[in-house]
Structure 1
């Protein structure tokens, strides 16, 4: 929850409780005084200043590009260095005057100019055409700037360059896993954790997805199913986020919650991909594994971490979250057994997984998890209904049976639960 939204809701609750006589006015005043001050937001003047600065920077770059061939090499190099120095100097001045947003913007521009400098120096001096290596160098420089300045924008630039780097390495050398990206990602995750920044946590969570996608789409996995490998990645992200959030630390709670949200949505997307692509787009090859051993271990680790989180936090919703992860992963070994016919058991496992995800979010009062589960249910039902393979009559019978079982289960659950908790 964002700080400003939380403060507004808390202020409304305090006013209501004080009016109803639940708390004394002195207690409400004590709560308000105990809260730390809100960080200043971005006002209209700051937005206009950012747009003006970007326009001036774009004009400078356009002017330099128009006369690039006429400028001597040393002068070109000096221009690049001057651009980084000016951006850093302005960022330091804005930081000293308390204008943190503009300081972050200057650090981001400096990181972008650093990347442009790598490309232009390579073009001027005809260096080797290792574009992936250049992206790695750019990522290292941007992450170093983020470490020194605390800039979220520089972190975003560094992670974007690292994602391009790992995708290029996966394309150039698809035989081996590109594990160096994991080290870069862990460094960025450590920064986000140390900053206790929700924005940085979002960036880190998003940056984990391209590596899994690029790895799953490699052409040298001997028939391994991309959807199943992506399911293992979603399971690891979801389970690790839950486990981190269960640690007794507000910093860990914020960071882990963001990771678990992205893991929940990734799990829902993967469930839909399994239904729509495994039989229709990508066929099993003879004697080919559905997924490599390292991916299976990642998925198992995700389930284990989710169960460990449930044990630590004593939250029933996280047990169901672990069940959702396990059921999505269970579809992988079930699918080859039914390759000759309809994979009804796999469909049932995935539907149960998405239902568990919805109930998990409701029990733990985590709205993103509920939304992810509902989107997964809608996508899975649509995939089962409109898949090309098999007859539509058989699919309608399966969906009707699944619906009847679900309604019967809901009726029994409604009678078993106390009236207050229904």
Structure 2
């Protein structure tokens, strides 16, 4: 499998678990399973280290070129400046082509990454040379698109990773400095980078895609206030998106797509964070029609995803009941809101009950679907809620010393009990995999 040693080790662990399950079910013979394991172990994971170092070296070369040119920029004639810029860029492209022809793919990717960095340096320095408008956002946009076009042309994973970073810096500059929020122009470029990650079937790109998307959404929250959305509107809008990502990940996993598990993990984490936030403060809602239409549209789309998940047998009745409840909770404010302003106060204990139910459901969902991640996430959510309730209730009634002493005892006892329960559930998960 192509990739860096860290991702390779994760892949090997996953394939070992899958092979045990496939052998038990009779899909793969024990002899074939051992042959697959030997083929994975025979690949020299350490040989990837020079490639990683070459990528880091390319980045340092790009920074060195920038520093050298910037330090001597004023003394150079304009023609020499242009010559240095274009020759260095052409040399990087030439080196990449030569390395590809020699089948040194990893080092060719390092050369391409260097070319992408030099392309950005050329944009910035030429703009400075000809006293063009100091539009950093526009320069970053051109740099990002150039890097993305190069990633598509060369099918380069290293340049694709750089493109995700550059695109996120671009949208961050537009959102926070230029005040363009939400920065909708980012979405088509992000989608193009995500699509290339799908085509390359590169797992790190899935993480970069989802992290950058949720980061963009977080930076754009303030801008949604321009649509007269209040705190409650924003939270349930985010909850609808997180549930969509979770269901799409669940469906993708059922279809055998590698992206499925990654998307499900991020969707579950963000859903848990937003549900926890429900109990932190009373929420205000405005009955803005745009928000209600968006929320209902997401609700309809999630119902369709839920239907396809059922058709693909992506979860049991426990999963269906839980996702149905989450879907109902998500669209309920859009149905109930009326008048100018509405309030939702979950701080009086209802939010805690809801979150405990969510945590326990996650544990059972993970047990039934043989997902250790969901089991561990459920226990983490349960422990976080228990600690929050302790801090909010007993913390206000006890003095500092007694608060910490009792808290330490409860944490030790609670961690011991939770760990025993967690091990029991993980054991059940292992049995589910073996059946």
Q: 2:383 aligns with which of 378, 387, 410?
A: 378
Q: CA deviation at 1:318?
A: 4.5
Change (3 A) 1:10 1:114: closer
Q: Which residues in structure 2 correspond to 1:217-256 (within 5 Å)? A: 217-218=222-223, 219-225=225-231, 226-247=234-255, 250=256, 253-256=257-260
Q: 1:206 aligns with which of 206, 211, 218?
A: 211
Secondary structure of 1:284's aligned partner: strand
Structure 1 residue 87 corresponds to structure 2 residue 92: yes
User: Could you tell me which residue of structure 2 aligns to residue 192 of structure 1?
Assistant: 197
Mapped to 1, the partners of 2:174 and 2:62 lie a distance apart of 32
Which of the pair has the greater relative contact order for Cα pairs under 8 Å at 6+ separation? 2
Q: Is the 8 A contact 2:296 2:331 kept in 1?
A: no
Mapped to 2, the partners of 1:308 and 1:383 lie a distance apart of 37
Change (3 A) 1:75 1:245: farther
Mapped to 1, the partners of 2:303 and 2:105 lie a distance apart of 40
Q: CA deviation at 1:67?
A: 0.3
Mapped to 2, the partners of 1:201 and 1:168 lie a distance apart of 23
Q: CA deviation at 1:379?
A: 3.3
Q: CA deviation at 1:145?
A: 0.9
Q: 2:131 aligns with which of 126, 147, 159?
A: 126
Change (3 A) 1:347 1:292: farther
Q: Is the 8 A contact 1:167 1:211 kept in 2?
A: yes
Q: 1:115 aligns with which of 108, 117, 120?
A: 120
Structure 1 residues 166-214: Cα deviation after superposition (integer angstroms, max 9, x where no partner) = 3444454657x54332222221221111111112222212221122112
Give 5+ residue unaligned stretches, structure 1: 394-402
Change (3 A) 1:165 1:25: closer
Q: Which residues in structure 2 correspond to 1:37-56 (within 5 Å)? A: 42-47=47-52, 49-50=54-55, 53-56=58-61
Q: Is the 8 A contact 2:250 2:314 kept in 1?
A: no
User: Could you tell me which residue of structure 2 aligns to residue 145 of structure 1?
Assistant: 150
Give 5+ residue unaligned stretches, structure 2: 1-5, 399-413
Q: CA deviation at 1:51?
A: 5.2
Q: CA deviation at 1:8?
A: 6.5
Q: Is the 8 A contact 1:242 1:309 kept in 2?
A: yes
User: Could you tell me which residue of structure 1 aligns to residue 315 of structure 2?
Assistant: 315
Q: Is the 8 A contact 1:223 1:290 kept in 2?
A: no
Secondary structure of 1:220's aligned partner: helix
Q: CA deviation at 1:338?
A: 4.7
User: Could you tell me which residue of structure 2 aligns to residue 365 of structure 1?
Assistant: 370
Q: 1:347 aligns with which of 346, 352, 357?
A: 352
* Paired residues, number: 383
Secondary structure of 2:278's aligned partner: helix
User: Could you tell me which residue of structure 2 aligns to residue 263 of structure 1?
Assistant: 267
Structure 1 residue 292 corresponds to structure 2 residue 300: no
Change (3 A) 1:181 1:325: farther
Q: CA deviation at 1:372?
A: 3.0
Secondary structure of 2:305's aligned partner: helix
Secondary structure of 2:226's aligned partner: coil
Structure 1 residue 272 corresponds to structure 2 residue 273: no
Q: Is the 8 A contact 2:55 2:109 kept in 1?
A: no
Mapped to 1, the partners of 2:161 and 2:31 lie a distance apart of 44
Mapped to 2, the partners of 1:168 and 1:51 lie a distance apart of 25
Normalising by structure 2, we get a TM-score of: 0.72
Normalising by structure 1, we get a TM-score of: 0.74
